[in-house]
Structure 1
């Protein structure tokens, strides 16, 4: 199994974990919270794709905030580095230790309690180790809706979601993870606990500290609890699979859908035919929603918290009329509206299974980027041409959350090409893709963060001023550089 890349900075090195410190850790978290066996540590030390692997003297699994605080204080006093980890489903290596990491990995998986649900105030207080899907189901049990939704929701944890400012398929309507949070509890690199668990929608008392830690990927502290925002449960949902003329048509369809749906557009996902075929080829049990002669599809979902009344016009009626209008314009070539929950789920499983299918297909390259929605057609056209100029036999598989401008600009290696050979083209392809993104005023990481894999890219594209401000914050909160060192920034 390949290791993570060589350490980017010798200053990420930390003091070793001594036998005396191991006993102190055992005294804090107990035998159940300490993993020392090399085989048992491996699932924590390897990223979920199997492409990065690191080391740790111990995997520490505290059961509550007090234990996290005591573990962090012990590490702080001894100069030992900590890699925080949630569900270990990230794509940039942010939760994977470096190969020369001599400190500990701190897993939050045992801290998995829902502490309080306030359906009247539309809020829920939870521990960081709660599985995202569990939180969705808990909210639903109180007739409320927690909108964060992504492919890994059955195993990812809310602490990791917030630490990476996760996106997903509902960003168009509800925003990224940071927009779904009212308050946080965080263990700082010193071991002190900042209690910001305030369920307030308005609190204008100085710096809004919670936003420092969301998206920081565990480099500034460890999120241990959160107060999450809830919404009314959608009672009228309409999902449709559209065969469309081209990517420009997708953007125009989305623009028109806002008014046609009475501003009830929940999701708008672009899928290439190649991407759909990839999923159907590798993931059993799925059905092609619509066979059509086109290279592009759109998964469009409208939702409302207002239940459909007998005789009243619901979203499906509005969707049907909207699609008829779009067929007349030539933007939509054909379409099908899900008539059952199973049909809707089939559509969404195709979209959510792309990562699984890509792993089964073989080696590939994928870029998590964003541009203004209106620039998406131009970016896809120019980006594919630029990549094909470098490697004409590479296979493009673009898809994405077109409603918020986020594309997963993905490519599978040429048939028969191994990962080592494909890697020889990676640097040149990465540069042309990211240069194009920068020229269009976009972002080289829309929702997956920086972690290990994009440190050099961040340094290349962010201004010296921005990088200096980030370093100032990091050094102020973590002067010993023990909190997830070597991630996001070179210190």
Structure 2
């Protein structure tokens, strides 16, 4: 028999004290309500441990009693991995595990507690004269534990990689309360399985990350940023090839954006003016990070070459910080503005970079056949093949009716993604949103291996039930 709230709450208070437990329904609202408001289950309680030892104590108790645990960091996840599925879970928030354990700029790493926000991690790196090059829209709220648990990507994966590639080691509390001490700063370590990489991206189903050693990189001397008009995604792909050949790894961002996203933002006054040079169907936001001692002007030269070949019809190169910030604001708000246009069906997918134009063309055509008047808003990281393939409801349509038909749109889009050799989850994870889809698309042997790992590390199934593997 599952324990009741009246049994769970006193036990948690005994472990964490009165201030370490939230149990009133109203007070738990901020922990059980996720950004897209798709999932609406209560929790038995929210545990707020202040130390790693307290996380261990909670997990030892939960493992012994058989209480389900939902690890939660900044509660910014978009697939429901950080909120309850069944209503009998205890949320363990790591938000109070904040602190700096070590910063070694010379060696190029820092070790932070997992409750540290991504924005705070940037500031810590900045104080050391370095940078941590992982940038996402929710970085003010997202915490290191969640960033690693979901293997977050962002706008600079092109040059620096995703969260997994920027992490050297982790510390994690396992299902039975034991602690994995893997805070290594080694760049090379071939002593068996890479357990760090197993925990990163596991979405809290294998352990609770409590600290991490992260890479620090030299800050660039300058950024060169341009918003360029292109005719089509195919032209954007050619432009990417040209610019990557010229700039190499100094091309740190290459984002594809449709005109409709700019129109939405202007309509809803999310940007004060159009940052582009002229109206076109598609745009590219490209940025070069100039290393210390490097020469500036590389972006201008690349843009001139692209203009001569006809790949770029117009464009703006940012001359001031505020101009650059406006360009990036227009990119970061592409997803948020869709909520102001009504209901939106979203897909976080990836395909081989060369297949991005075909994905957008075929996926848009297929969705229009399913829903007359549907408005495709595909945008994102063309340079690494990750497109946020979103669809806004037809103008003046009923939002609820539109969302009721979401499965049909999902089916045709995911069919195209699979035919192109892509992934149905590029950077947001599986959570509880895509567990059924994972079973459909994942190789059976891979699923068997994943289940074996889950069973070995969490034999009682108490960590984040209903997530990833379902």
For the aligned pair, the TM-score class normalised by the smaller chain equals: over 0.9
Cα distance between partner residues in 2 of 1:234 and 1:403:
20
Cα distance between partner residues in 2 of 1:104 and 1:156:
20
Is 1:424 the equivalent of 2:410?
Answer: no
Is 1:240 the equivalent of 2:226?
Answer: yes
Q: Which runs of 5+ in 2 are unaligned?
A: none
Deviations 1:237-269, CA, capped at 9 Å, x for gaps = 101000112111111111111232254100000
Aligned to 1:154: 140
Aligned to 1:45: 32
Deviations 1:209-246, CA, capped at 9 Å, x for gaps = 01111111101110000000010011121010001121
Map 1:317-328 onto structure 2 (within 5 A): 317-328=297-308
Contact 1:238 1:303 in 2 (8 A): yes
Cα distance between partner residues in 2 of 1:251 and 1:222:
39
Cα distance change on mapping 1:188 and 1:162 into 2, 3 Å? same
- How high is the TM-score relative to the length of structure 2? 0.97
Aligned to 2:441: 461
Map 1:187-206 onto structure 2 (within 5 A): 187-206=173-192
Q: Matched residue of 1:68: which SS? A: helix
Q: Which of the residues 312, 329, 335 maps onto 2:315?
A: 335
Aligned to 2:10: 23
Is 1:108 the equivalent of 2:98?
Answer: no
Aligned to 1:74: 61
Aligned length: 470
Aligned to 1:284: 270
Q: State the shift of 1:285 in Å.
A: 4.5
Q: State the shift of 1:66 in Å.
A: 0.4
- Which deviates the most, 366-375 or 423-432? 423-432
RMSD: 1.3
Q: Which runs of 5+ in 1 are unaligned?
A: 1-13, 309-313
Aligned to 1:7: none
Aligned to 2:170: 184
Contact 1:57 1:103 in 2 (8 A): yes
Cα distance between partner residues in 1 of 2:15 and 2:269:
44
Is 1:218 the equivalent of 2:204?
Answer: yes
Aligned to 2:123: 137
Deviations 1:1-55, CA, capped at 9 Å, x for gaps = xxxxxxxxxxxxx822453442231122222210011100011011022232211
Q: Matched residue of 1:96: which SS? A: coil
- Which deviates the most, 382-391 or 289-298? 289-298
Aligned to 2:348: 368
Contact 2:271 2:330 in 1 (8 A): no
Q: Matched residue of 2:112: which SS? A: strand
Aligned to 1:9: none
Cα distance between partner residues in 2 of 1:180 and 1:169:
14
